[in-house]
Structure 1
Amino acid sequence: MRPTMSDETTRLEIRPAVSQDYEVLRDLFTHLIPNDLAMTDDRGRAALNGMLSHPGLTTLIGFHDGVAAATCTLIVIPNFTRGGAPYAVIENVVTRKDYRGKGLGEQLLRHAQDLAWASGCYKVMLLTGADNHGAQRFYEKVGFKQSKTGYQIRAPGYPKRAMKE
């Protein structure tokens, strides 16, 4: 059974992103990585269009009263194990700072999970920073369990960002 959302929950209108959402997403991601690596608009639009055309990848945007308040990306990945059932990864989860604590991120992640289950996925995974305790508590509240250990390796030049609580 799913954990219940906060009493402060406000309804979120959720839809897949389209290429015209470039500016909306660019703004939302400043709430995730304020000092992200610089990217020209041409490169950003090309990246978004590449994402939108990638099979199995859906970037969701949640709107509250017409304001883009939250986003995440769901990637459904074909699989050779588990009877051929795909699995999903959720990445780039962010809620605007002024909309946090209202249950919007919960609604968005539950919607992403529902899409994964409708696609036949047997699990949904996500990663968060080992030092990002606030995000860890949030994901646990939404029902995710820490059951595996994640590893990553970054290309040279991609710095780790410092987390602030």
Structure 2
Amino acid sequence: MSVRLLSASDGTDALALYAHLVGDQQLGDLTDFAGMVDHPGTQVRGAFENGALVAVATLHILPNITQQGRSYALIENVVTHRDHRGQGFGRAVMNSAMEAAWAAGCYKIMLLSGKKGQARGFYEALGFGADEKWGMTIRRAPTRQSNSDTSQGGA
């Protein structure tokens, strides 16, 4: 297994993997993926087995004025290929993203996870948990349907 930052050239493989996360929802295209990996403060980390991309996690490092100006991080779009779940690939991309956030001086890492499914236990095993905060969202797009087959972690 190897873990590395993805680039625009990984777009086709990444889009195929994201389909495991979103099910029937439409994904962006290769241009959107290239824009994401080239966006300042954003990293997509991928785990590979025998050259094949099998897991990804997106890390956004965001500037901040509180906490003495220390940044915070947001992890999104975590997915492991359904044939490679339970083998440590999701944990590897999450650990890589978390290490990068701490190395960047972030004071916290946030993520959202579905209320149902196995993702919550996955994140809790990595050290995430509820503290004094309560997460909320407002959307202009439909939520993904909860489907135990579509995500490992699915943030």
TM-score (norm 2): 0.89
Give the distance between the partners of 1:142 and 1:81, measured in 2 at CA.
26
Amino acid at match of 1:111: S
Amino acid at match of 1:141: A
**In the alignment, is residue 22 of structure 1 matched against residue 11 of structure 2?**
yes
Give the distance between the partners of 2:98 and 2:123, measured in 1 at CA.
12
Give the distance between the partners of 1:107 and 1:19, measured in 2 at CA.
21
Could you say which residue in structure 2 is the equivalent of 1:160? Answer: 143
Could you say which residue in structure 1 is the equivalent of 2:152? Answer: none
Could you say which residue in structure 1 is the equivalent of 2:36? Answer: 51
Give the distance between the partners of 2:137 and 2:104, measured in 1 at CA.
27
* SS of equivalent to 2:47: strand
Could you say which residue in structure 2 is the equivalent of 1:140? Answer: 124
Could you say which residue in structure 2 is the equivalent of 1:149? Answer: 134
Describe the shift of the 1:138–1:38 C-alpha distance in structure 2 as closer, same or farther (beyond 3 A): closer
* SS of equivalent to 2:68: helix
Structure 1 residue 38: deviation in Å? 5.6
Give the distance between the partners of 2:80 and 2:105, measured in 1 at CA.
27
Could you say which residue in structure 1 is the equivalent of 2:80? Answer: 95
Could you tell me which runs of 5 or more consecutive residues in structure 2 were left unpaired when the two chains were aligned: 149-155
Amino acid at match of 1:145: G
Superposition RMSD in Å:
1.3
Give the distance between the partners of 1:70 and 1:52, measured in 2 at CA.
16
* SS of equivalent to 2:59: strand
> How many residue pairs were aligned?
147
For the pair shown, which has the larger CA radius of gyration, 1 or 2?
1
Give the distance between the partners of 1:23 and 1:93, measured in 2 at CA.
17
Give the distance between the partners of 2:82 and 2:19, measured in 1 at CA.
10
* CA shift digits 1:84-107 (9 cap, x unpaired): 111100000000001001111111
The answer (yes or no) to whether the contact 2:8–2:34 under 8 Å persists in 1 is yes
**Equivalent of 1:80, from 35, 41, 65?**
65
Amino acid at match of 1:150: G
TM-score (norm 1): 0.84
Structure 1 residue 26: deviation in Å? 0.7
Give the distance between the partners of 2:85 and 2:30, measured in 1 at CA.
27
Give the distance between the partners of 2:86 and 2:15, measured in 1 at CA.
22
Give the distance between the partners of 1:93 and 1:120, measured in 2 at CA.
22
